[in-house]
Amino acid sequence: MKLITKKELPKEHWYYRSSSGLYKKYLEKCWLKVAPLSGNNFWWIKSLWIFQIAKFERVDIAPTPEVLKKNGFKHWMVIWIPYSLTEIPKWWKKLYLNSHFTTTWFSEVLDEYYYKKWKDRAQRARKKFLNNTDLKIELVDTLEFQKIYGETKISQPFKKSFMKYHKTISSFDEKSEIKNMICYLWEKPIAGLSVIDYNWNSSAHLVSFLSNEWKKLQAWTWLIDFWFQNSLKNWIKYINFDHLRDKYMSFDQQWYTNFKENFMDYKIVYKDSYFKIY
């Protein structure tokens, strides 16, 4: 894994929460006003009584009074988190309160030997499940995934929230951008993973779940391997697990972060966000 700077980010890879058309529809469902920028990027406004918060999240286009006014922004705070830009225009002030997840990562799927870049632990786990004929993984439709997710007994404090999120964003998925994967032990579901493909070259983690049987059988590693394989098949180049634990997240997220690091090529930290009051 390599820690890279924002200047080293691939220009063709964008953050899905501010460039995926499907995620744009999800934000609108959450009563946010979403406005387009150039390319596939967009930003949004949240109204709080007479105040408004506008957020430009991981985009390199600096908010301007003209763009804000044109899209109905009238008063209060504008937050800007540049994606790869490092030279910030004058008059923007650093925002020291947390307004975003600061740490993320991605991997490049260049050929069928993608797994050789994984850590040794993940490669050993991959060999283990390849020799286990009792396990299988299938792509399933949204309703089947949600049914299995709801019925599987798991220890996941925010399960209901994740299920609601998946149900809402999937309701807009007319182009089958969301891929749902289930791992079975014989015919019993033991783990699941749902991802969103976007902007023709990228795929990002949406939700996942693990039953009590997953660890001994390395089912979660197999799901990730299946995700990489399916992405390669569909000409997807960038795999993104989205958030890694930072100082703003609870410590119970550390195990999941450690696990993700087995598969990552690049880690990127977004330390700075900026604001203006209008």
CATH number at residue 202: 3.40.630.30
Mark whether 59 and 155 lie in a shared domain.
Answer: no
Q: Is 56 helix (H, G, I), strand (E, B) or coil?
A: strand
The predicted pLDDT at position 169 comes to 97
Mark whether 154 and 188 lie in a shared domain.
Answer: yes
- Give pLDDT tens digits for 223-260: 999 999 999 999 999 999 887 776 666 666 676 778 88
Mark whether 198 and 120 lie in a shared domain.
Answer: yes
Q: In whole angstroms, what is the distance from residue 88 CA to residue 21 CA?
A: 27
Mark whether 83 and 127 lie in a shared domain.
Answer: no
Q: Which of 178, 252, 249 is nearest to 208 (CA)?
A: 178
Residue 43 belongs to domain spanning: 2-103+270-277
- Give pLDDT tens digits for 124-183: 989 888 888 888 999 999 999 999 999 988 878 889 999 999 999 999 999 999 999 999
The predicted pLDDT at position 157 comes to 80
Q: With 80 as the cut, is the pLDDT of residue 119 above it?
A: yes
Mark whether 126 and 23 lie in a shared domain.
Answer: no
Mark whether 116 and 230 lie in a shared domain.
Answer: yes
Q: In whole angstroms, what is the distance from residue 211 CA to residue 220 CA?
A: 10
Flag whether 226 is in a domain: yes
Alpha-helix runs per DSSP H in the chain? 21-29, 65-70, 120-130, 142-151, 159-170, 214-217, 219-233, 254-260
- Give pLDDT tens digits for 45-97: 998 887 899 999 999 998 999 999 999 898 889 999 999 988 888 889 999 87
Flag whether 256 is in a domain: no
Flag whether 250 is in a domain: no
The predicted pLDDT at position 251 comes to 67
The predicted pLDDT at position 132 comes to 82
CA distance to 47, 127, 242, per residue, from 203 (Å): 31, 24, 10
Q: Is 169 helix (H, G, I), strand (E, B) or coil?
A: helix
Mark whether 117 and 99 lie in a shared domain.
Answer: no
The predicted pLDDT at position 102 comes to 84
Predicted confidence band at 28 (pLDDT cuts at 50, 70, 90)?
very high
Q: Which of 92, 105, 103 is nearest to 273 (CA)?
A: 92
Flag whether 260 is in a domain: no
Mark whether 132 and 229 lie in a shared domain.
Answer: yes
Q: In whole angstroms, what is the distance from residue 54 CA to residue 77 CA?
A: 6
The predicted pLDDT at position 11 comes to 87
Flag whether 255 is in a domain: no
Predicted confidence band at 215 (pLDDT cuts at 50, 70, 90)?
low
CA Rg, the chain, in Å?
Answer: 20
The predicted pLDDT at position 197 comes to 97
Flag whether 251 is in a domain: no
Mark whether 9 and 30 lie in a shared domain.
Answer: yes
Amino acid type, 230: N
Mark whether 77 and 186 lie in a shared domain.
Answer: no
Mark whether 74 and 164 lie in a shared domain.
Answer: no
Long-range contacts (CB closer than 8 Å, 24 or more residues apart) made by 27-33: 29/168, 29/172, 33/71, 33/72
Predicted confidence band at 214 (pLDDT cuts at 50, 70, 90)?
low
The predicted pLDDT at position 135 comes to 86
Flag whether 179 is in a domain: yes
Flag whether 242 is in a domain: no
Predicted confidence band at 101 (pLDDT cuts at 50, 70, 90)?
confident
Domain count, the chain: 2
The predicted pLDDT at position 246 comes to 67
Mark whether 20 and 83 lie in a shared domain.
Answer: yes
The predicted pLDDT at position 213 comes to 67
